[in-house]
Amino acid sequence: MSNNTDFDLRDFLPYALNQAAEATSLAFQKQYRQRYGMLRTEWRVLFHLGRYGAMTAKEICDRASLHKTKVSRAVRALEQKRFLTRAPQETDRRHEALALTKQGEVVFRELYEAARAYDTALASRFTPQERDVLRRCLQKIAEM
């Protein structure tokens, strides 16, 4: 009301980022949610295992900046769906190597392709320069 500047909600970066993030997340969610009843964290865990190979829950936490409870629950859910298996390690029984099953691999590959297609479609709306700036900015903001 009595504000003399023109700082608007849409100018507020956390808001703008959230709106954009939500729009894309909701759009892509259909891929894994409708088909496989997966949650976002499950999809991320699946992605990590599919893309980078077997690893422990801890490694997934670190790489994806996910909290260990989230990962723990996602792993259990994926296990129940028969998308991954656990293999306790001999050297240190606290660790368990998580690996996708055949079925998990198939699902991963499908979603991976869907993700790439979605990303390509989204990116095609911008020039190469814009894409570059956008990615660099997001990267920089994320690693604060």
Partner DNA sequence: TGTTGTTAGTTACAAAACCAACTAATATCC
Partner DNA sequence: GGATATTAGTTGGTTTTGTAACTAACAACA
Give the residues lining the site for DNA (CB under 7 A).
Answer: 39-41, 56-58, 61, 67-73, 75-76, 91-96
- The answer to whether residues 39 and 81 touch, using CB atoms and an 8 Å cutoff, is no
Of residues 49 and 71, the one with the C-beta less far from DNA? 71
Specify the length of the chain in residues: 144
- Which residue matches tokens 């900015």? 137
- The answer to whether residues 97 and 55 touch, using CB atoms and an 8 Å cutoff, is yes
| Binding mask of the shown chain, residues 12 to 51, with x at each position contacting a copy of itself by CB under 8 A | xxxxxxxxxxxxxx-xx---------------x--xx-xx
For 95, which DSSP code? Answer: -
Give the nearest distance from C-beta 120 to DNA in angstroms. 26
Kindly report the backbone phi and psi dihedral angles of residue 133, in degrees, each rounded to the nearest multiple of 5, phi listed first.
Answer: -60, -45
Residues at the contact surface with a copy of itself, assessed by CB under 8 A: 1, 3, 5, 7-25, 27-28, 44, 47-48, 50-51, 53, 64-65, 112, 115-116, 118-119, 122-123, 125-126, 129-130, 133-144
